[in-house]
Every structure is written in C-alpha cells, then in structure tokens.
Amino acid sequence: MKKVFWVVALAVMLSVPAWATVTISAVQDNNDCQARSVLINYSTSGEPARVRAFALKISVDKGAKITSVTNYKTDGVSTAASKGYGIYMGNIQIDTNGTVTSYGSPVAPASAPDNPPQLDSNAVIVEMGSLFQGEANAPGASGTLCRVWVNNFDCNVSIAADATRGGVVREDVCGVTPTFVGTMVATPSYCYTGPLADCQQWVLLSKPASWCTSRQCHGDADNKEETYGRGSKTWVGIADQVVLAAGFRQAYTGTQTWISADFDHKEETYGRGSKCRVGIADQSVLVTYFRKSTPTDCLTNSPVKP
C-alpha cells in the first residue's frame, strides 16, 4: 500500500532536534492480576506546544522478553471522543485514493532499514504520532501511550528516545529531551492468589479482603469455625447462611461485607436481566459444603506465576 505525503511529512518531523520538558514513565500495573504488564505513560507541563510524535526504545533486562504491546489507540486520528496518538508511521497503510486501510500497530516493523528489534526479544521500538483538527480533538497533556507485557518478574524496564526516528517531537517541529523513568517488574504481594479469572473479579470488586482465605470459595463467608449439635465443628454453617442472606440479589457498591458470600466469584443474572454478585449459584456452593468437610484450596492456583 502506498503511503501518502502527510505520513511522510510526519516522519520527517521526527528527525528535527531540539528540547523541552516531557516525562515518559514505565509503571507496573498491579491491577491486572498477572502483573506482568507495564503502562507507558507520558506527561507534559508548561510546554509551548504539545507533543506530536513519540519514537521510543523500550527494553528489559535479566533475560526477560517483551511479549506483547497492547492498549494503544486503534482508530487513528485523534478526536474529541477518542483522543490519543494513533498514527503508526511504520505500519499505516493507505490505498491509492488516500484512504487508510490499516493503522497497524506502534511496533516498528522488522522490514525497516535499521532492522529494529521485534516482540519476543529484550526490546521493541514504538513510534506513535497524532493528527487532529481543533483544540477539542487534541491529545491530552498526559496519558497512556500503550501497555507492554513481559514474560517474567524481577526484571527492569527502561525507556529511551529512538534517535533513528527522531525521539520525541512537538507540534512546532522542535524535538524534545524527555525525562525517562523506568521501573522494576516486581512480583506482586497479593493476598488473593487464586485462579486468574477469579483474581480479575477480585480486582474488579476493589479487592475484598474476605476472599483471601483458603475456604471462602467453598462457602465459608466469615472465616470462622462454628460449633453445632453436641460440639461438632464446621467452617460452613448458619453464620455463613446469614451473610449470604444479607447480600442475596442485592446491589454491590464496593463496600458491603457480604461480598464474602460471592463464593463462585461471578456475577449472576436473574429476573428480567437484573444482576447481582450473590445469588442462586452461591447458595448452591454453601449447600454443597454445609456442615461438611471443607477444602482449603481457594488460594492455591496463583495467578501471578510467569
């Protein structure tokens, strides 16, 4: 596919040197449960002109590899409804009528003359530009450019300007000397270490501490042993029923303690499309283990393993 003049012009802008104050940071995202992703954020302050394009080399050490780049803008030109840097100079494809047929991705293609590193290696080059009309459609003074995934913990992520592609350039065609802030991809210390899908639900619900017990997924809502009959003991009993009843088909706003009775870690639909966190499926879990031997495996399938 041919690339039209304005794409070439934008690439030329990337080669003009100068300087200004822009910070580009790598921040580990501890809310994704796997925690092996790093957000590449940018922020500007007091700039005479906003940044027009970024060309960055992102690297990892200690034998780690970058496996994926995600969460970038996919609809190209910045608009009031979808702001950002969505012009990928090395990958955009435009037909002979000047129509964009693919915006591609920000990862510099292997076919580029400088043979840039590719995914599943210790580095990638990302190149991202903006096109917009009017102030309301301009990218923000700060935001997230993309998310970078690595295949291991305890490695360091570093960012540098890619000089071959001009580094960071403002709208006034002046280059920028940014401040780069890297990060270590540390093994997270979650109290919840159950299955990945359940961990994602745990994060969605603001990480309730009650899920961080070994029997919760099997009907133990209060994390207490209960005595019944002539001194028999159980982890799932009347007290857990009371918790479940308090939350049964109620709306969860992020603070109610009865979320501990969401034993199956799933949202449930009932009636005419109403949704709840504590419902029939959770009731079934409690009935299954009521006053019976209760497994202690709710936290054994750690979601943070590479």
- CA–CA separation, 134 and 215 (whole Å): 56
Least confident of 54-63, 94-103, 157-166: 94-103
Question: In degrees, to the nearest 5, what angle opens at C-alpha 14 toward C-alphas 47 and 121?
Answer: 110
**pLDDT of amino acid 47:** 66
Supply the mean pLDDT for the chain. 90
**At residue 15, does pLDDT exceed 80?**
no
- Positive/negative CA dihedral, 253, 213, 37, 60: positive
Look at residues 160, 73, 181, 90 and name the one whose alpha carbon lies nearest to residue 127. 90
- Positive/negative CA dihedral, 211, 212, 214, 220: negative
**At residue 52, does pLDDT exceed 70?**
yes
CATH 2.60.40.680 residue window(s) in the chain: 5-185
**pLDDT of amino acid 129:** 96
Q: What percent of the chain has pLDDT over 70?
A: 92
Measured in Å, how far apart are the chain's first and last C-alpha atoms?
39
pTM value? 0.76
> In this structure, which long-range contacts are made by residues 211-214, counting pairs with CB atoms below 8 Å and at least 24 apart in sequence?
211/259, 211/260, 211/265, 211/298, 212/299, 213/298, 213/299, 214/296, 214/297, 214/298, 214/299
User: 237: burial class by Cβ within 10 Å (0-12, 13-18, 19+)?
Assistant: buried
**pLDDT of amino acid 33:** 84
**At residue 104, does pLDDT exceed 70?**
yes
Look at residues 180, 179, 176 and name the one whose alpha carbon lies nearest to residue 51. 176
**pLDDT of amino acid 1:** 41
**At residue 289, does pLDDT exceed 60?**
yes
**At residue 11, does pLDDT exceed 50?**
no
CA distances from residue 262 to 2, 237, 251, 280 in whole angstroms, order as listed: 55, 15, 12, 10
| CATH domain 5-185 topology | Immunoglobulin-like (2.60.40)
Q: Under 8 Å CB-to-CB from 92, ≥6 apart: which residues? A: 3, 7, 76, 100, 102, 103, 104
**pLDDT of amino acid 144:** 97
How many whole angstroms from its chain centre is CA 278?
27
The mean pLDDT of 210-225, rounded to a whole number, is 98
Q: Which helix (H) or strand (E) is 7 found in, with range?
A: helix 5-13
Which structure tokens are listed for 302? 């750690």
**pLDDT of amino acid 17:** 41
Digit-coded pLDDT (tens) for 109-165 = 999 999 999 999 999 999 999 999 888 999 999 999 999 999 999 999 999 999 999
